[in-house]
Chain A
Amino acid sequence: MASETGIGASVKRKEDARFITGAGNYTDDINAPGQTHAVFVRSPYARARINGIDTAAAAATDGVVAVFTGADLAADEIGDLPCGWLVKSKDGSDMVAPPHPPIATEAVNYVGEPYAVVIGETLEAARNGAEAVDADFEERPAVVDLATAASADQIHESVPNNQAYDWELGDKAATDAAFDGAHHVATVDIVNNRLIPNAIEPRAALGEYDAAAGTYTLHTTSQNPHLERLVLAAFVNVAPEARLRVISPDVGGGFGSKIFVYAEETAVIWAAGKVRRPVKWRAERSESFLADAHGRDHVTTAQLALDQNGKFLGLRVKTKANMGAYLSTFASSVPTYLYGTLMAGQYTTPAIYVEVQSLYTNTAPVDAYRGAGRPEATYVVERCVETAAREMGIDPAEIRRRNFIQPGDFPYDTPVALTYDTGDYEASLDKALGHIDYAGFGARRAASESAGKKRGIGFSCYIEACGLAPSQVAISLGAGVGLFEVGEVRVDVTGSVTVVTGSHSHGQSHETTFAQIISDKLGVPFENVTVLHGDTGRSDYALGTYGSRSLAVGGSAIIKATDKIIAKGKKIAAHILEAQEDQMDFADGTFTVVDSNQSITFGEVAFAAYVPQNYPLEELEPGLSEKAFYDPPNFTYPAGAHICEVEVDPDTGVVDIVDFVAVDDFGHVVNPMIVEGQVHGGLAQGIGQALLEHGVYDDAGQLLSGSYMDYTMPRADDLPSFTVDTTVTPCTHNPLGVKGCGEAGAIGSTAAVMNAVTDALGVASVPMPATPETVWRAASARGSSAEGAERGE
């Protein structure tokens, strides 16, 4: 049984039966009797003063229940949307965050920012009402360009130079000294393009107020309902925590964008209390483009110093990060502690210095998006390494090999604050080289050349820190919350098991993976395990899902609770079998007295716990239900080698990914099929960034890539059939020896693709996304100044 459904088995997903038959229960599927509908009225200007909002005509529109502006929320003492991570500047000063009212009051600062919400009997009525809201805007010049934002018009009265913070990490003097003694310095100028998340299910919310009980219930598309509840209660003042329940039912993808506490969900739950009726909202895709937190958007210059043998001596990174118009929930941490700390990569680079200036612009807020800081870091490091290898004439695989941290070096302290616990980077690279047939690349390139095509190969040996996070480390670095997780294992009277996790699944398959763990550890049939998640009314306070933490942190909490179950089970079994507790053994669902044939099944013990006839009630409480909180002692460090092979048509600029190999070390794997699916999805997103996706604003701050006509999502025919493989160095500090697989694909792949594209063209750099036009220009400009390329060669 355990072998087929336990740890290590590719069990089919429990979730899929309902998903593929259309029986999923998403927020928009839930309707409350008497519900009303909310439509948000959004700014058409990137920056404007609001001189007045006339809601009279809207309020008089047929079927309109209420019209609210920011002033109504303010009158109810509804607070600003906070940022939960305090980052300090070089000079020790706190970051500067502008006030962020859920509904704009005095000014709008990005296109799509809501300035009123109309509640209607029907969606149509609410829309009609929204059409009738008349605002008097005084347009002001928009600040859009990140590179010049610090010297542009000041957007917020309280934020000089449009700067959130100017942060640093690492040893500047040591890094400067390393450069002074360098044999070669490789320099790259990089724009990490803005991405728009595009989960398949748009954000949605259903707010309900129970006047009799004085309680609020918010169904919403959150990745972490407890965080949503905490912020709405403690900062936004919607209701005390104990009178607010947040439920995230089935959620169709998040990728980070559903971590954050947004204006719309906030307004919906508040409005439900005002109109005393349920209020429903579901974003249209157009709204998702405008008002979901975007990702990436960095401008960076980086330099790698090397000795004559290609050994890395020092790395210097200077980045400007776009925060958008306001500081979203975790925005400040993304280009700092999730970025600067990863600059060692898989290498022994002894001296690293990173500076990050985060700036406000009149664009949608930018926050964590799959990988969050780590794709940007990998892109910097791996573009530098590849550039250095080419400039010094060293094989790109070889230069990485010469600089890898070796298996005997762990635990390894990097110069940028992390301690890697384990890894074997060369093992992953070797396996990947074998899969791609690196030895045969020359012949394949020659064959492409003779067909008029250009073939290139690109490497990315990435590392990431995930399994967020050791609470005390995170809090000492500015996190406003602990980052542990809770797990509860409730053994039912009949021996079936209900697991409650604070972690949330919106594609990760917790109902399957966590059931496998329980089935494996307790010997309970897989189908007798039910996993519940996504409800503050069901689980204790927990932190939800982000940063590839569900298994490493949430799974570990479940293991801890399971250990408690087994320990109590041994006491019960020992009593029934008239043996000593320390003589009891538990395996495959059976408690056995050591060196005897006396045994009792897990089911019998569970029954005894709830029908305590032959039971030591004077010493032991009845019942068999345990809960555990798990706070990880360290991050986990998945790492791997991604190799991409492309063929470029120089006449059209079309890039064809002919092969893509990803060899990842995720530690032990519970369900290989699910892990492979996670890697596939991540690769698609990373390749999407490299070749297709680009969030673009015009000079006036209008979003030009605001629909699928202009924002290109990767599709199946844009992608090759991936070769996905793993190596295993178990994580040393969690009970399952697991790392995290959710983000790795998006973290490693982008650099591999761009290294391959530049290799094919023989140019130093091509801007992302490498669309046919961009590639064609770079190919045509080779040898002269590359118009449209970031750095002319």
Chain B
Amino acid sequence: MEQAGESRIAQPRDRVWRALNDPEVLARCLDGCKSMTPVGDGEYEAEVGAKVGPVKATFKAAIALNDVVEPESYRLDVEVKGGAAGFAKGSALVNLEDVTGEDGDETLLTYEINGNIGGKLAQIGSRLVDAAARKTAARFFERFKVDFDTA
């Protein structure tokens, strides 16, 4: 599974960077995220409820931020062990770039996601997982953009 996308955010880059490193923001924006607990430097444990096709389960995800270049880019590695439902592994390369908008400094966020799934998730959901991942990413950035207004 591979996909890429971008999102333009009407906030200066350092603010976007801070938000991207704030587990509470990440937890608010990620669909189905029930908790996001820091467990170390740049490492988190999250509980995420997800549904791929007919497979619906709460997954425990280990999240780690790697290759961090502040305030420019990082790689978000996610590993999910779903027990009987299988597993998912993936990483998202996130890159921030300054752009000039009508009302001042804005940020262009680009991302590349790749990952794979196994077990029942793959058996039942492989044809659905791309769409599910795309939807999850889109929802995340939708919320992420507006989260600055509410935060």
The smallest C-beta distance from B142 to any residue of chain A, in angstroms, reads 29
**B124 near A: Cβ within 8 Å?**
yes
Count chain B CB atoms within 10 A of each CB in A130, A133, A703, A704 and give the residue with the most. Answer: A703
Q: Is the CB of A702 within 8 A of B84?
A: no
**A677 near B: Cβ within 8 Å?**
no
The number of chain A residues with a CB under 8 A from chain B is: 25
**A211 near B: Cβ within 8 Å?**
no
Given A44-B118, A702-B118, check contact A707 B123 (CB 8 Å): yes
Count chain A CB atoms within 10 A of each CB in B120, B121, B122, B123 and give the residue with the most. Answer: B123
The smallest C-beta distance from A157 to any residue of chain B, in angstroms, reads 23
Q: Is the CB of B127 within 8 A of A44?
A: no
Using Cβ atoms and an 8 Å threshold, which residues of chain A touch B86?
A: 44
Using Cβ atoms and an 8 Å threshold, which residues of chain B touch A131?
A: 83-84
Q: Is the CB of A290 within 8 A of B123?
A: yes
A-contact bits for B98-112, CB 8 A (1 contact / 0 none): 000000000000000
- Main secondary structure, interface of B, reads helix
Q: Is the CB of B127 within 8 A of A710?
A: yes
B-contact bits for A696-719, CB 8 A (1 contact / 0 none): 001010111011011000000000
Which residues of chain B in 122-138 are interfacial with respect to chain A, using CB atoms and an 8 Å cutoff? 122-124, 126-127
The smallest C-beta distance from B149 to any residue of chain A, in angstroms, reads 40
- Main secondary structure, interface of A, reads loop
Count chain B CB atoms within 10 A of each CB in A41, A44, A286, A704 and give the residue with the most. Answer: A44
Q: Is the CB of B127 within 8 A of A709?
A: yes
Using Cβ atoms and an 8 Å threshold, which residues of chain A touch B12?
A: none
The smallest C-beta distance from A122 to any residue of chain B, in angstroms, reads 16
Partner of B124, one of A127, A286, A700: A286
**A85 near B: Cβ within 8 Å?**
no
Q: Is the CB of B123 within 8 A of A706?
A: yes
Q: Across the two chains, which residue of chain A brings its CB closest to B124?
A: A707
Which residues of chain A in 653-705 are interfacial with respect to chain B, using CB atoms and an 8 Å cutoff? 698, 700, 702-704
**B74 near A: Cβ within 8 Å?**
no
Using Cβ atoms and an 8 Å threshold, which residues of chain A touch B84?
A: 41-42, 127, 130-131
Partner of A704, one of B82, B120, B126: B126
Q: Across the two chains, which residue of chain A brings its CB closest to B126?
A: A704
Using Cβ atoms and an 8 Å threshold, which residues of chain B touch A45?
A: 87, 118-119
Using Cβ atoms and an 8 Å threshold, which residues of chain A touch B116?
A: 700, 702
Q: Across the two chains, which residue of chain B brings its CB closest to A697?
A: B122
Bound Cα distance from A130 to B116, whole angstroms: 23
Bound Cα distance from A133 to B84, whole angstroms: 9
Q: Across the two chains, which residue of chain A brings its CB closest to B87?
A: A44
Q: Is the CB of B122 within 8 A of A702?
A: yes
Q: Is the CB of A698 within 8 A of B83?
A: no
Using Cβ atoms and an 8 Å threshold, which residues of chain B touch A704?
A: 122-123, 126-127
Count chain A CB atoms within 10 A of each CB in B83, B86, B118 and give the residue with the most. Answer: B118
Partner of A133, one of B82, B83, B122: B83
**A579 near B: Cβ within 8 Å?**
no
Which residues of chain B in 19-37 are interfacial with respect to chain A, using CB atoms and an 8 Å cutoff? none
Q: Is the CB of B83 within 8 A of A111?
A: no
The smallest C-beta distance from A113 to any residue of chain B, in angstroms, reads 11
Q: Across the two chains, which residue of chain A brings its CB closest to B123?
A: A706
The smallest C-beta distance from B96 to any residue of chain A, in angstroms, reads 32
Bound Cα distance from A703 to B127, whole angstroms: 12
The smallest C-beta distance from A726 to any residue of chain B, in angstroms, reads 42
**A289 near B: Cβ within 8 Å?**
yes
**A132 near B: Cβ within 8 Å?**
yes
Using Cβ atoms and an 8 Å threshold, which residues of chain A touch B113?
A: none
A-contact bits for B35-69, CB 8 A (1 contact / 0 none): 00000000000000000000000000000000000
Q: Across the two chains, which residue of chain B brings its CB closest to A136?
A: B81
**B78 near A: Cβ within 8 Å?**
no
Bound Cα distance from A43 to B121, whole angstroms: 12
Q: Across the two chains, which residue of chain A brings its CB closest to B88?
A: A44
Using Cβ atoms and an 8 Å threshold, which residues of chain B touch A698?
A: 122, 126
Bound Cα distance from A42 to B87, whole angstroms: 12
B-contact bits for A19-53, CB 8 A (1 contact / 0 none): 00000000000000000000001111110000000
Count chain A CB atoms within 10 A of each CB in B82, B124, B126 and give the residue with the most. Answer: B126
**B117 near A: Cβ within 8 Å?**
yes
Using Cβ atoms and an 8 Å threshold, which residues of chain B touch A709?
A: 124, 127
Bound Cα distance from A118 to B51, whole angstroms: 25
Using Cβ atoms and an 8 Å threshold, which residues of chain B touch A46?
A: 118
The smallest C-beta distance from A391 to any residue of chain B, in angstroms, reads 40
Given A130-B84, A131-B84, A132-B83, check contact A44 B124 (CB 8 Å): no
In the assembled complex, 9 residue pairs joining A and B whose CB atoms fall closer than 8 Å, in A order, are A42-B119, A44-B120, A45-B118, A286-B120, A290-B123, A702-B117, A702-B123, A707-B124, A710-B127
Q: 18 other contacts beyond A286-B120, A700-B116, with CB at 8 A cut-off?
A: A41-B84, A43-B119, A44-B82, A44-B86, A44-B118, A44-B119, A44-B120, A130-B84, A132-B83, A134-B83, A289-B123, A290-B123, A700-B118, A702-B126, A703-B122, A706-B123, A707-B123, A707-B124
A→B interface (CB under 8 Å): 41-46, 111, 127, 130-134, 286, 289-290, 698, 700, 702-704, 706-707, 709-710
B→A interface (CB under 8 Å): 82-84, 86-87, 116-124, 126-127
Task: Kindly list the 10 A-B residue pairs having the minimum CB-CB distance in the complex, ordered from nearest.
Answer: A44-B119, A706-B123, A702-B122, A44-B86, A44-B118, A131-B83, A44-B87, A131-B84, A704-B126, A702-B118
